[in-house]
Amino acid sequence: MNFYLLFFSLYGLMILPMNLHFRLRLGQNTGYWVRLEAIGLPLSGTKEKKNLEEEEKETSAREKGHALSDVNLQFLRILTEKKTFRRLMELGRLNRLNLFVRLSFQDAAQTAMLFGLSRVVLDTLHKTHAVPEAFHFLIRADFHHSGSILLLDGILSARLGKLLATFILLGLSYRRRRLPPPPAHGPSA
């Protein structure tokens, strides 16, 4: 067996760039779209680029309720720990993140106030470089009561080796917390 070939094959897999393209729509026609790519080749089912609105999967209120009720709180605690959160933030790189918000409420004054507040907050974050350069946003106020919409569209990239190592560490941390504590041994008489 050629160990050099095996080593370089494993090394090639570890440095393989992976891209996650995602789109999330909240408001009217709530739905999502996710595609995983390796070296620019899609790993999820579709090979041809279609209209994203056609590929989005719509979610009903019932599905949202089931998804939220099945969330394991122990796993969420692990994800929000400072050490774990820092590791997840260093995991990949944000290539693009677009945020489109259309604000539309029954009260025009409320729409205008929320539009102004959100513009000030997002402009301040952008000007102070508190958000990455890849983050772009567009906020519009709609006074015709057509419904509010939030659309989040982006690309995340990471190396396969970093993904595997991080998910193995997360799994071990989760398992360690799920195991019952060992029985205490009392003094023997």
- pLDDT at position 167 is 79
Q: Which residue has the higher pLDDT, 179 or 18?
A: 18
Alpha helices in the chain (DSSP H): 3-14, 52-55, 61-69, 73-79, 82-89, 108-127, 160-178
pLDDT tens profile 3-43: 888 888 888 877 888 888 888 888 877 888 888 888 777 87
- How far is the C-alpha of 71 from the C-alpha of 73, rounded, in Å? 6
Indicate whether 45 pLDDT > 60.
no
pLDDT tens profile 65-122: 455 444 456 666 666 676 766 776 677 788 888 999 999 888 888 889 999 999 999 9
CA distances for 136 relative to 24, 52, 128, angstroms: 15, 19, 14
- pLDDT at position 49 is 44
- Please give the model's pTM, rounded to 2 decimal places: 0.62
How confident is residue 50, by pLDDT bands cut at 50, 70 and 90? very low
